[in-house]
């Protein structure tokens, strides 16, 4: 059973890494500013002969009193996070290091995941622009093309600095909530929960609504929810079946097993079970929202098949091979050997993720050249990149419009589908939120009118 505990800890860590590899700024600022309301002491020295307060002044006084009792509101905006990340990079990287800006952007993005403030689907759309910046960043010397040496350098730098949040000094401090110097499986599982409830909540909510609302009434019924969750669960199990099958971890304890084990072991196993369940829930949300989130990406080279991607992932060591004496229990020496093997396996997964990312970015860069090299010199200049960026934004707007509102897949939104949209709006369905900001208001009607009339232009 100790073997199962050790195995599942390793698997949870690996799934945490995979979630980071699969991930691709909104407004907001500072602390609550009450300067426009004024001070309670304002006018206190005006004297006893001051005229009576007007109705407006009395109401304002009441507002001040209520504000004085309110809990202070303070938060860090995305701009603040990026400024702090840039300061860390400036202090810790060589001035000529070519990945300074993209590292700062990724650190700021990962920082957002450490709070549970719900972000809209629009925020996720804005964050997808980082993917295009990453494509550009692999061209380390800025000559408009990507060499084999640049790919290899990106792989090497990737491991030590950018995509290893459990060891990155800037992120480790933020993820290590108990301050013990190590990002534990429990803390990684907690991060998955915060991401689902915070930064990715809006995209997950909208993605599941569009995927599961089979009758297009604008809402998810109980039967639609059950069917959607089952489909997402099957997709996740297929993606991770090879990892889970080889882990040798069976954490569904019977009453008899619980009676045989000590309280401490049962607690460890239950905690490991909860960690794995949290990772699975995160992946289920991603699976259910995959279609919409793919459409929200700015780059237009289709993402690789996720099941095939996971099948290419290195397999974890078989836990049964570490029980050398075959007694069904793990001695301290056997457990130490297994944990060393799991550490090596995690490093192998990190290497796999770095190579996967670098080769994918190289493919995306070559794809960009094929589409946007207007002067046909085999390179992309800054001007060509800027023009491509604008083209990608227009292309995404059209793709999302059809994804969400072309219900019959005809290639355009027709009159009946526009009537369905109006009905969603009247009922307050989130499917009417055409700008994905999480609110349903007149701006959505205006944008729908423009998009509907602009079809084919």
Are the beta carbons of 292 and 223 closer than 8 angstroms? no
Q: Has residue 177 been placed in a domain?
A: yes
Q: Has residue 42 been placed in a domain?
A: no
The beta strands (E) that lie in 48-151 are given as none
Domain termination residue (choose one: 372, 395, 424): 372
**Domain count of the chain?**
2
pLDDT (0 to 100) of residue 385: 97
Domain termination residue (choose one: 316, 342, 372): 372
- In this structure, the answer to whether residues 432 and 414 fall within a common structural domain is yes
Domain coverage including residue 149 = 2-25+76-372
Residues facing residue 31 across a β-bridge: 74
Are the beta carbons of 77 and 28 closer than 8 angstroms? yes
- In this structure, the answer to whether residues 164 and 300 fall within a common structural domain is yes
Q: Has residue 273 been placed in a domain?
A: yes
- In this structure, the answer to whether residues 418 and 390 fall within a common structural domain is yes
Q: Has residue 58 been placed in a domain?
A: no
Are the beta carbons of 400 and 296 closer than 8 angstroms? yes
- In this structure, the answer to whether residues 315 and 386 fall within a common structural domain is no
- In this structure, the answer to whether residues 389 and 363 fall within a common structural domain is no
Q: Has residue 161 been placed in a domain?
A: yes
- In this structure, the answer to whether residues 348 and 400 fall within a common structural domain is no
Dist. CA 174–CA 321, nearest whole Å: 36
Q: Has residue 329 been placed in a domain?
A: yes
- In this structure, the answer to whether residues 337 and 398 fall within a common structural domain is no
Other Cβ atoms within 10 Å of 28 Cβ, number: 14
Q: Has residue 80 been placed in a domain?
A: yes
HSE (side-chain half, CA atoms, 13 Å) at 346: 22
- In this structure, the answer to whether residues 368 and 245 fall within a common structural domain is yes
pLDDT (0 to 100) of residue 73: 57
pLDDT (0 to 100) of residue 33: 41
- In this structure, the answer to whether residues 136 and 172 fall within a common structural domain is yes
Global pTM reads: 0.76
pLDDT (0 to 100) of residue 321: 73
Distance, C-alpha 49 to centroid of its chain: 61
- In this structure, the answer to whether residues 262 and 296 fall within a common structural domain is yes
> How much is the CA Rg of the chain, to the nearest whole Å?
26
pLDDT along the chain (457 residues), means of 10: 42 44 39 41 51 79 77 75 95 93 90 84 90 94 97 83 70 81 72 81 95 98 97 83 53 70 69 70 86 94 82 75 67 78 82 89 97 98 97 96 96 94 96 95 94 86
Domain termination residue (choose one: 338, 372, 406): 372
Are the beta carbons of 240 and 15 closer than 8 angstroms? yes
pLDDT (0 to 100) of residue 161: 61
- In this structure, the answer to whether residues 166 and 285 fall within a common structural domain is yes
Q: Has residue 40 been placed in a domain?
A: no
- In this structure, the answer to whether residues 423 and 362 fall within a common structural domain is no
Q: Residues 6 or more apart from 93 whose CB is under 8 A from it?
A: 100, 103
CA separation, residue 241 to residues 135, 219, 270, 311 (Å) = 31, 32, 21, 9
Distance, C-alpha 361 to centroid of its chain: 19
- Burial string for 162-188 (b: 16+ CB within 10 Å, else e) reads bbbbbebebbbebbeeeeeeebbbbbb
Are the beta carbons of 94 and 122 closer than 8 angstroms? no
Q: With the CA atoms of 431, 435, 438 and 439 taken in that order, what torsion angle do they form, in degrees rounded to the nearest 10?
A: -90
């Amino acid at each position: 059973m100790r073997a199962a505990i050790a195995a599942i800890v390793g698997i949870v860590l690996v799934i945490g890494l995979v979630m980071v590899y699969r991930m691709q700024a909104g407004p907001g600022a500072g602390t609550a500013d009450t300067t426009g309301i004024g001070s309670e002491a304002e006018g206190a020295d005006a004297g006893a002969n001051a005229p009576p307060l007007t109705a407006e002044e009395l109401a304002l006084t009441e507002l001040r009193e209520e504000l004085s009792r309110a809990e202070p509101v303070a938060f860090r905006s995305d701009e603040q996070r990026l400024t702090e990340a840039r300061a860390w990079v400036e202090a810790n990287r060589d001035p000529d290091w070519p990945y300074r800006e993209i590292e700062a952007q990724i650190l700021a993005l990962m920082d957002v995941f450490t709070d549970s403030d719900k972000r809209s689907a629009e925020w996720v759309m804005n964050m997808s622009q980082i993917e295009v910046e990453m494509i550009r960043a692999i061209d380390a010397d800025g000559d408009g093309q990507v060499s084999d040496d640049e790919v290899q350098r990106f792989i090497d730098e990737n491991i030590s600095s950018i995509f290893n949040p459990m060891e990155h000094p800037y992120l480790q401090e933020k993820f290590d909530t108990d301050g013990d110097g190590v990002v534990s499986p429990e803390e990684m599982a907690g991060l998955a929960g915060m991401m689902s409830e915070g930064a990715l909540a809006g995209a997950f909510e909208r993605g599941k609504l569009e995927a599961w609302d089979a009758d297009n009434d604008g809402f998810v019924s109980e039967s639609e929810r059950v069917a959607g969750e089952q489909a997402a669960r099957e997709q996740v199990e297929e993606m991770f079946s090879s990892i889970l099958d080889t882990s040798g971890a069976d954490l569904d304890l019977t009453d008899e097993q619980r009676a045989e084990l000590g309280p401490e072991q049962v607690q460890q196993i239950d905690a490991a079970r909860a960690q794995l369940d949290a990772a699975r829930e995160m992946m289920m949300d991603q699976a259910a929202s995959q279609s919409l989130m793919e459409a929200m990406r700015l780059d237009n080279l289709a993402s690789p098949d996720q099941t095939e991607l996971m099948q290419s992932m290195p397999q974890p060591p078989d836990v049964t091979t570490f029980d050398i004496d075959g007694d069904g229990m793990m001695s301290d020496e056997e457990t130490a050997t297994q944990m060393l093997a799991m550490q090596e396996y995690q490093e192998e997964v990190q290497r796999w993720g770095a190579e996967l990312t670098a080769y994918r970015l190289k493919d995306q860069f070559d794809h960009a050249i094929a589409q946007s090299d207007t002067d046909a010199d085999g390179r992309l200049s800054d001007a060509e990149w800027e023009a491509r960026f604008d083209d990608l934004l227009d292309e995404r707007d059209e793709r999302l419009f059809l994804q969400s509102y072309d219900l019959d897949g005809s290639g355009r939104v027709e009159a009946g589908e526009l009537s369905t949209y109006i009905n969603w709006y009247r009922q307050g369905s989130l499917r009417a939120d055409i700008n994905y900001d999480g609110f349903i208001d007149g701006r959505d009607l205006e944008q729908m009118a423009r998009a509907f009339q602009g079809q084919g232009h």
